[in-house]
Structure 1
Amino acid sequence: MRTQRWTLVVVCAATAMLMLDIAVVNTALSKIASDLHTGLHGLQWVVDAYTLALASTVLTAGSLADRFGRRRLFTAGLALFTGASLLCALAGDITFLNTARAVQGIGAAIMFAVSLALLANAFPDPRERIGALAAYGATIGASFAVGPLVGGALTSGLGWRWIFLLNLPLGLACLAITRTRVVESRDALARRVDLAGLLTLSGGLFLLILALLRGNEEGWGSAAILAELGGAAALLGAFLAVEVRVAEPMLPLGLFRNGAFTGAQAGAFAISASFFAVFLYVTLYLQQILGLSAIEAGLVYLPGTVIMFFVSAATSTLGDRVSPRAMVSGGLVLVAVGLGLMTLAQVDSSWAIGLPGSIVAMIGTGLFNPAISGVALGSVPERQSGLAAGVSDTFRQAGIAVGVAALGALIPAGAALGQGDPAAYVSGLHDALWVGAGLCVAGAAACWLLLRRPSTASAGDVIADVEPAIAGARVLEAA
């Protein structure tokens, strides 16, 4: 029992730390732009360098954790993340900061990939696991939402570098707990590292994000942007081809024959590419258009954050009465409604205009996060929890990275940092919010359809189909 508690504590603390580092920079972006002399393009990479590195390596991290030990990889991820946080705090220019953020993202990928697997091993009883996942889901949502407040307070009081220095004592404490209190676990039939899959996925995502970020500046019909989009399509297509043919793929495509597994990924991508991605631009609106300070912008999110925390905690008691299908789809619909309400914001609005929308969206997030984690874990055999967590986190972080770039293409870059026409920025923000709302509605519909009944091909069947081939290949190799 004590091991369970410590595992839950360290997983939630580490997850809070890495989620904060997605959101905490938002309220510090204006100060970073001023101190490091960069524009919107550089600021977008402060977010995307982190989430892109996380998205493109989390699957490999999950495979390594299943193979070499989840506690061991979790410890390595914590150490890498903590060290990179120090480098971020010492950055003297935007290139160094974004490079350090990418390294930080790799450490976060390892931590994220292993978190759900550690919880699955520590809480084998389904009823106890529901409570643990509720705490985990509340941590994800609350950390992302409270990040602007934490970032605003640190930036206003001590300077933006402290948003990274804060990770040092937290990271060291998590390392100590992991080494002394967390039980090691691994998968006896874990897959080998799929290097070809890693390279094609990383390259494809990088070129896609690069094209989306540079499209407005270079022109969407320019040779450079078309080449980047073409290269992204080719590499992502090559990734799918590799995964079909390789003996031990990092993403077994057969898993998508399972409706629950596919629905979990669709839902994770939808909320990340919409609500979580638009945080950056809403925060810039609060600071650059309405003139709020960093801490004032963070306080705007506080009411919704508190409500979302209690909603997430309450899902542990709703599990017996409300289906995951209803909570996931209903949560996405509420997020869509919240994003739509945020379009009431105008150039001369009060800061309070965004409260109704943010509160409704936070309630939806509170319902969504624990339920989607439970679906993701329950869609594969328990010993494959590292793989399931890695796939889910890939779709989450790829969603944020793609969403930041794609929604940013709708917003004039100059107006985002106090230059140009504020009305143009608000108009672009409205477009981004409506696109995000549409994506959430599409995700809700997909989840409602995919989670409505057990799939004709369960994840267990898929794994059973794959593993004899893996075992046979290893016997032949040994011979």
Structure 2
Amino acid sequence: MRAEDVGLYRSPARALLAAGRAERGSEGTLAVAASGTLLVLAAFSAVVTTVGDSARSLHGGVASETWTLSAMSLGLATALLGVGALADNFGRRRVLGLSAAGLALTSALGAIAPSMTVLAAARVLQGVAGAGIVASSLASIGHAFPGGRARTQATALWAAALGAGIALGPLAGGALAGGLGWRSSYWLQAAAAVALAFGSGSLSESRAEVKRPLDLPGLVTLGAGMASLTAGLIEGRTDWSAPRTIGLLIGGAGLLASFAAIELVRRRPMVQLRLFADPSFVASITGALFTGLALIGLMSFSPTVMERGLHLGVVASAAVLAVWSGTSMVVSLGARRLPERLSSPIRLAIGLTLSAAGELALTRVGGGSSWAALLSGLAVAGLGSGVANAALGRLAVESVPSDRAGMGSGANNTARYLGGAAGVALVVAIASSHGAGGDGLVRGWDAAALVSAALCLAGAVIAVVCGVRARG
């Protein structure tokens, strides 16, 4: 046999082996990315069933509970854009591994917190570490699955992991708090983060072709603006007309406007504002923002209403909430089977509309009804969340150039958790304004659910407009 003939036989074999290795590498990337996202969202959501016990143990009030509920959202929103840039520049595997180690340390800090102030600070730092995991995970998926049906399926699985984390966090947190105390939840998070740090070594490294400098002025103004707005919403719970409340809200808006101005003049900004000319990018950002405002905010507060207003136990409240998060997880997996002719913005609009319908159904709890009145609304809202989360995961990576997948996922998730931090504070402010005690919380819940449904519908309208514009 001639040498060139041997080459003809070897080349296809080598190509097949290379393709097999690439496929296994992509599957491994998806497994680690999904596991990391699940862990971050479990840590994010576990607090909804442990915050009451921690506040009683550490002598905290409603304001400290609200800060603790909002704190991880604040850390995520502040850091996601910055760590997205770091992941693009220095490697997504490296950032994921370091962030997992950081999550382990900050979770341990939460476990030993001597006060609610320290616990809230630990939650902010958990958010910063979690931001590195979420941004590098989704960016790694964008690199491993360049496009087409494979990317749709991968981002649907990522969204399902997001839903699974939100479902498991409150259940695990509530069960541990009831048996071993609220601190055990943070120790479990720390142990899982250590395992993720070791598992991240199996990822193949990827990074952007051209590095971007870290935008410190942008990071500072974004973080300070978010903190000021959140503080203003928390203070508004007692008096919206107080000079302190008004000053915090105006100051936060001014700082966020400064952030936008900084990004406009920087040569290499964290967020390329010209991307807002792309309707798909606008849908990605506004959809994530309204998801945080209208869904994360309301659902994060729901266990408190169930415990104090409907007199359910911690684990029972988590189980009821799992109707929403569990449905969301299952639907996220099934969303990959939706027809390809449905664009991502239109899928997002469908998801937000269904979520609005579910939240409208949740307003029935106010008339002395039991927790069972929540079930149908939570199921419909979960259906909508699943469709919306799958669409947002896909939009995050398809609405930006492939070498800026970290920025795309960072911007998308920043908007989600910016909305989440503001949404929690807004829901608490609305619910608390209807009187103290359990009855007041239940009446306030109806109003908060109605406002959240209206926000979902507003997000759906924007998504439809973006979808129509994207088709030209």
TM-score (norm 1): 0.90
The farther-off stretch of 442-451 and 39-48 is 39-48
Aligned to 2:12: none
Structure 2 CA distance for aligned equivalents of residues 187 and 314 of structure 1: 31
**Selected match of 2:207 from 168, 186, 191:** 186
Aligned to 1:89: 111
Asked whether 1:2 is paired with 2:18, we answer no
Q: Runs in 1 of length 4+ with deviation above 4 angstroms? A: none
**Selected match of 2:177 from 140, 155, 166:** 155
Asked whether 1:332 is paired with 2:342, we answer no
Asked whether the equivalents of residues 110 and 186 of structure 2 are also in contact (C-alpha less than 8 Å), the reply is: yes
Aligned to 2:444: 428
Aligned to 1:113: 135
Q: What SS does structure 2 have at the residue aligned with 1:221?
A: coil
TM-score (norm 2): 0.92
The residue correspondences of 1:214-233 to structure 2 (distance < 5 A) are 214-217=235-238, 219-233=239-253
Structure 2 CA distance for aligned equivalents of residues 7 and 319 of structure 1: 26
Asked whether the equivalents of residues 163 and 326 of structure 2 are also in contact (C-alpha less than 8 Å), the reply is: no
Structure 1 CA distance for aligned equivalents of residues 191 and 228 of structure 2: 36
The one-letter amino acid paired with 2:182 is W
Aligned to 2:198: 176
Aligned to 1:70: 92
Asked whether the equivalents of residues 347 and 423 of structure 1 are also in contact (C-alpha less than 8 Å), the reply is: no
Deviation at 1:125, TM superposition (A): 4.5
Asked whether 1:239 is paired with 2:259, we answer yes
**Selected match of 1:407 from 383, 404, 427:** 427
Deviation at 1:296, TM superposition (A): 0.8
Q: What SS does structure 2 have at the residue aligned with 1:19?
A: helix
Structure 1 CA distance for aligned equivalents of residues 147 and 361 of structure 2: 40
Asked whether the equivalents of residues 77 and 111 of structure 1 are also in contact (C-alpha less than 8 Å), the reply is: yes
Gaps of 5+ in 1: 457-479
Structure 2 CA distance for aligned equivalents of residues 160 and 324 of structure 1: 40
Structure 2 CA distance for aligned equivalents of residues 2 and 446 of structure 1: 39
1:439-473: CA deviation from partner (whole Å, max 9, x where unpaired): 000000000110224377xxxxxxxxxxxxxxxxx
Deviation at 1:65, TM superposition (A): 1.0
The one-letter amino acid paired with 1:140 is L
Structure 2 CA distance for aligned equivalents of residues 431 and 338 of structure 1: 14
Asked whether 1:46 is paired with 2:68, we answer yes
Asked whether the equivalents of residues 167 and 326 of structure 2 are also in contact (C-alpha less than 8 Å), the reply is: no
Q: What SS does structure 1 have at the residue aligned with 2:431?
A: coil
**Selected match of 1:128 from 147, 150, 154:** 150
Deviation at 1:57, TM superposition (A): 1.3
The one-letter amino acid paired with 1:404 is V
Q: What SS does structure 2 have at the residue aligned with 1:166?
A: helix
Aligned to 2:340: 320
Structure 1 CA distance for aligned equivalents of residues 332 and 339 of structure 2: 11
The one-letter amino acid paired with 2:466 is L
Asked whether 1:140 is paired with 2:162, we answer yes
**Selected match of 2:463 from 444, 447, 453:** 447
Structure 2 CA distance for aligned equivalents of residues 68 and 239 of structure 1: 24
- Cα distance change of structure 1 residues 413 and 90 upon mapping to structure 2, 3 Å threshold: farther
1:36-78: CA deviation from partner (whole Å, max 9, x where unpaired): 1111110111122211111011101111111111111111111
Structure 1 CA distance for aligned equivalents of residues 247 and 355 of structure 2: 35
Structure 2 CA distance for aligned equivalents of residues 381 and 258 of structure 1: 12
Deviation at 1:35, TM superposition (A): 0.6
Structure 2 CA distance for aligned equivalents of residues 255 and 355 of structure 1: 40
Aligned residues with identical type, % of pairs:
33
Asked whether 1:12 is paired with 2:34, we answer yes
Give the count of matched residue pairs: 450
The one-letter amino acid paired with 1:286 is M
Aligned to 1:207: 228
Gaps of 5+ in 2: 1-22
Structure 1 CA distance for aligned equivalents of residues 25 and 103 of structure 2: 24
1:156-211: CA deviation from partner (whole Å, max 9, x where unpaired): 122111221112332122111211x1011111213111111111111111111111
Structure 1 CA distance for aligned equivalents of residues 65 and 26 of structure 2: 39
Q: What SS does structure 2 have at the residue aligned with 1:344?
A: helix
- Cα distance change of structure 1 residues 158 and 347 upon mapping to structure 2, 3 Å threshold: farther
Structure 1 CA distance for aligned equivalents of residues 370 and 325 of structure 2: 20
- Cα distance change of structure 1 residues 327 and 125 upon mapping to structure 2, 3 Å threshold: closer
Deviation at 1:423, TM superposition (A): 2.6
Aligned to 2:59: 37
Q: What SS does structure 2 have at the residue aligned with 1:454?
A: helix
The one-letter amino acid paired with 1:272 is G
Deviation at 1:304, TM superposition (A): 3.8
The one-letter amino acid paired with 1:240 is A
Asked whether the equivalents of residues 366 and 445 of structure 2 are also in contact (C-alpha less than 8 Å), the reply is: no
The one-letter amino acid paired with 1:193 is L
1:399-437: CA deviation from partner (whole Å, max 9, x where unpaired): 10011112221122796xxxx343322221111111100
Deviation at 1:321, TM superposition (A): 5.1
Asked whether the equivalents of residues 259 and 455 of structure 1 are also in contact (C-alpha less than 8 Å), the reply is: no
Structure 1 CA distance for aligned equivalents of residues 85 and 291 of structure 2: 25
Asked whether the equivalents of residues 78 and 111 of structure 1 are also in contact (C-alpha less than 8 Å), the reply is: yes
Q: What SS does structure 2 have at the residue aligned with 1:296?
A: helix
Asked whether the equivalents of residues 343 and 467 of structure 2 are also in contact (C-alpha less than 8 Å), the reply is: no
- Cα distance change of structure 1 residues 305 and 240 upon mapping to structure 2, 3 Å threshold: closer
